[in-house]
Amino acid sequence: MVGVGLATANLPFGTTGGVKGEESPIVVGDGAAPPASDPAIANATPIAVDPEAVGYVSNERPGAVISLSVDEVCRAADKADCPVREGTQLGTVFSDPPKAILASPTKHKAVAIANTSAGTDEVVVVDLPEATQRPQPGRTPAPSASAAPSPAAPTTTPVPSPSTDGSNAPEATATATEPTVTVTASPSVASIEPSATPTATAAQQIAIASGIQVVGESAAFSPDGTWFAFTARAADQRRGADVYAWHVGSERAVRVTDDGASYFGSWADNDMIVSRPSDTSAAKADAVSVRVDPANGNERDAGDAWRPAVDPTGKRAIVWVGTLKLAEDGSGWVPDKGRLELRSWSDDGAGRSEGPERDRVVTDSAPRDFDVRWDETGEWVAVWVADGNDKVVGRLSLFHVEPEKDRLERADGAPVDVRALPGFSMGDGRLAWATPRGQGGEGSRIRIAAWSKTDVGIVESNPGEDPVVIR
């Protein structure tokens, strides 16, 4: 009778007077387990999470943006019973599959990094469908700039002078007029509604950098969405890595550093945190970091650490503490001896954290590259570390940060050292990544870990052709 009553009332199982997602045992008759076919009994109790969507680009349907909505996830023990999720195709944005896509926090815009037919990288700006935008707490998204903007009024904010080849460092111009880009020839992808048969026309892509090779995975928009920073070197290998910055509305990104050995780490407020070796003439060196104003290139000290990933609160960061070395192929500087750990952060840079060492160390090896991304609360952080013997695949882990004790915690059910392709998204209570191809030729999947308080569960998509997550 209890089972029939629940089914008739269409109530979620395991929620007798509680919150959806909380386990409550259901006993029928003498307590014996009912047949699996009994429709009144659920095989797994999911974890309810805030309904949010994750966006990715499908290479199975080249250039198509897919929205994968998630409102509940499965516990690790129930993974076998967890159904796969089907995404909704929103529109075709890219004519060719990009290597990476990074969404602006405030506009329906994204920056994509793509290969060209010449074998170089090109950094382009595109419009995104509205459903892929991730809202930020307390912010109202600005309207899409798909129509021709009105002429910009003079501004007193220094803006780097546009450079067509990235060869000049930015110059401060107190009365510079911000350049604008007219894109009236392009249909607005933001206006495309979800449909089973969306238009196949790709949106116009505006190149802001070309003839380069993008380095690493740490490219990102500033918190206010007005700047985008990344690390790149000349495609002809005549010089090493430098940090580039693009101001929204400008025609081109500009090279902010000029030493051939600088790497973008993250944003701290609206300053770039840039790292470089202390001695570029040696094969090994210590690491130093500086805060860089993207508008004029001015620098100030930010401590002795390599590529700090500062959290949104500005109180802590994940940093590499140790030495650096030149990569075996001579492509640039990589971690040598040391560890990736949680540390306190201030305007002066990374300090030391309180608590046992084991509660703040992420890894003691990062042979090629690493990528760190925080959620908007600063209480969850995901870390991807490249495998030493693999140029494509790495290991991804999700940590909960105990604010009062300043330590890393592994939440039950959270991914730990799972194999993942480069590029993952983090925010809105979920972590999304693409898996490597499976055995027997199975394609990659999009996996999403989502949480409610400290309960973590996972769902996944059907296998596809090398999907790229929108970060």
pTM: 0.75
- 25 versus 86: the higher-pLDDT residue is 86
pLDDT digits (tens, 9 = 90+) for 445-455: 999 999 987 78
Average pLDDT over residues 65-72: 88
pLDDT digits (tens, 9 = 90+) for 233-282: 998 878 899 999 999 999 999 999 999 999 999 999 899 999 999 998 88
With a pLDDT cut of 90, the percent of the chain lying above it is 40
pLDDT for 231 equals 97
- Exposed e or buried b per residue across 125-139, where buried means at least 16 C-beta atoms within 10 angstroms of its C-beta: bbbbbbbbbbebeee
- 81 versus 161: the higher-pLDDT residue is 81
Domains for the chain: give ranges and CATH numbers: 43-469 (2.120.10.30)
pLDDT for 76 equals 78
pLDDT for 85 equals 81
Both tokens of residue 366? 């990062």
Both tokens of residue 350? 């990374």
pLDDT for 138 equals 39
pLDDT for 468 equals 92
Chain CA centroid to CA 193, Å: 25
Least reliable range by pLDDT among 29-43, 50-64, 247-261, 297-311: 29-43
**In DSSP terms, which residues pair with 209 in a beta bridge?**
123
Helix H or strand E segment including 3 = helix 2-9
pLDDT digits (tens, 9 = 90+) for 144-172: 333 333 333 333 333 344 343 444 444 43
Average pLDDT over residues 71-88: 81
pLDDT mean across residues, the chain: 76
- 78: confidence class by pLDDT, cuts 50, 70, 90: confident
Rg over alpha carbons for the chain, rounded to the nearest Å, is: 24
pLDDT for 354 equals 52
pLDDT digits (tens, 9 = 90+) for 415-443: 999 999 999 999 999 999 999 988 667 88
* Residue 222: pLDDT over 90: yes
pLDDT digits (tens, 9 = 90+) for 347-388: 777 766 554 576 888 988 777 889 999 999 999 999 999 887
DSSP string for residues in 192-255: PPP-SS---PPPP-EEEEEEEEEEEEEEEE-TTSSEEEEEEEETT-SS-BEEEEEETT-SS-EE
Using alpha carbons only, give the angle 417, 421, 422 rounded to the nearest 5 degrees. Answer: 100
- 142 versus 205: the higher-pLDDT residue is 205
With H, G, I as helix, E, B as strand and everything else as coil, classify residue 361. strand
